Amino acid sequence: MSGWDSEVDVAVVGGGACGVMTALRAARNPGLVVAVFEKSTRDGCNAAISSGSLAAGGTRFQAAAGIEDSPRRHADDILAASGDEEWRPVVEALCAAAPEFVEWIADTGYPVEIGADMPRAGMSAPRLHTDTGRLGGGRLMRHLRALLDGHDNVAFVDEAPVVGLVVEGGEVTGVVVMQNGAAQRVRAQTVVLASDGFAGSPTLVEEHLSHLGAPFYGGVSSATGDALAWVLPLGARLRNMGAGLRSGLVVVGHGTRVSPALPFNGAVLVNLAGERFVDEESKGYSSMAGILQGQPGERAALIWDATAMAATRESEMMRESLAAGAVRDHPSLEGLAADLGRTAEETERLLAPLPGRRALTAPYHLAWVTHGLLASQGGVVTDPSGRVLDASGAPIPRLYAGGGTACGLAGPHSDGYLSGNGLLSAFGMGWIIGNGLAAGTG
Is residue 51 near ligand FAD by the rule CB under 6 A? yes
Question: Which of 311, 365, 378 has the alpha carbon at shortest distance from 335?
Answer: 365
Nearest distance in Å: CB 20, ligand FAD = 8
Measure the CA–CA gap between 373 and 212, rounded to whole angstroms: 8
* CB neighbours of residue 279 within 10 Å: 12
Is residue 47 near ligand FAD by the rule CB under 6 A? yes
Nearest distance in Å: CB 416, ligand FAD = 14
- 47 vs 336, which CB is nearer to ligand FAD? 47
Q: Which residues pair with 387 in a beta bridge?
A: 400
Question: Which of 385, 404, 46 has the alpha carbon at shortest distance from 195?
Answer: 404
Q: Which residues pair with 37 in a beta bridge?
A: 13, 157
Residue count of the chain, please give it: 442
Q: 180, exposed or middle or buried, with CB in 10 Å at 0-12, 13-18, 19+? A: exposed
> Which of 11, 50, 134, 418 is in the footprint of ligand FAD by CB under 6 A?
50
Q: Enumerate residues 350-409 that contact ligand FAD by CB under 6 A.
A: 374-375, 403-405
- 186 vs 350, which CB is nearer to ligand FAD? 186
Q: Enumerate residues 53-92 that contact ligand FAD by CB under 6 A.
A: 53
Is residue 192 near ligand FAD by the rule CB under 6 A? no
Written as one letter, the residue type at 51 is S
- 149 vs 356, which CB is nearer to ligand FAD? 149
Three-class HEC string of 152-212: CCEEEECCCCEEEEEEECCEEEEEEEEECCEEEEEEEEEEEECCCCCCCCHHHHHHHCHHH
> Which of 69, 84, 131, 196 is in the footprint of ligand FAD by CB under 6 A?
196
Q: Enumerate residues 399-428 that contact ligand FAD by CB under 6 A.
A: 403-405, 420-424, 426
Is residue 289 near ligand FAD by the rule CB under 6 A? no
Measure the CA–CA gap between 175 and 400, rounded to whole angstroms: 13
Nearest distance in Å: CB 65, ligand FAD = 19
Nearest distance in Å: CB 14, ligand FAD = 3
Measure the CA–CA gap between 84 and 1, rounded to whole angstroms: 45
> Which of 173, 190, 195, 321 is in the footprint of ligand FAD by CB under 6 A?
195
Written as one letter, the residue type at 186 is V
Nearest distance in Å: CB 54, ligand FAD = 7
| Shortest-Cβ-distance residue relative to ligand FAD | 16
DSSP codes joined into one string, 264-299: GGT-EEEETTS---S-TTSS-HHHHHHHHHTSGGGE
Exposure string (b/e) for 308-338, b if CB count within 10 Å is 16 or more?
A: bbebbbebbbbebbbeeebbeebeebebbbe
Written as one letter, the residue type at 13 is V
> Which of 115, 174, 219, 290 is in the footprint of ligand FAD by CB under 6 A?
219
Binding-residue total with ligand FAD (CB under 6 A):
42
DSSP codes joined into one string, 363-397: SEEEEEEEEEEEEE--EE-B-TT-EEEBTTSPEEE
Task: Using DSSP, state whether 421 is helix, strand or coil.
Answer: helix
Is residue 13 near ligand FAD by the rule CB under 6 A? yes
Nearest distance in Å: CB 247, ligand FAD = 7
> Which of 49, 106, 234, 344 is in the footprint of ligand FAD by CB under 6 A?
49
* CB neighbours of residue 110 within 10 Å: 17
Stretch that binds ligand FAD, among 96-104, 218-226, 278-286, 337-345 (CB under 6 A): 218-226
Nearest distance in Å: CB 224, ligand FAD = 6
- 18 vs 351, which CB is nearer to ligand FAD? 18
Stretch that binds ligand FAD, among 90-98, 114-122, 216-224, 329-337 (CB under 6 A): 216-224
Nearest distance in Å: CB 51, ligand FAD = 3
DSSP state of 37: E
> Which of 8, 10, 11, 15 is in the footprint of ligand FAD by CB under 6 A?
15
> Which of 69, 77, 131, 226 is in the footprint of ligand FAD by CB under 6 A?
226
Measure the CA–CA gap between 165 and 173, rounded to whole angstroms: 8
Nearest distance in Å: CB 391, ligand FAD = 23
> Which of 18, 98, 231, 369 is in the footprint of ligand FAD by CB under 6 A?
18
Nearest distance in Å: CB 46, ligand FAD = 3
The footprint of ligand FAD (CB under 6 A) covers 13-19, 37-40, 43, 45-47, 49-53, 161-162, 194-196, 218-219, 222-223, 226, 245, 374-375, 403-405, 420-424, 426
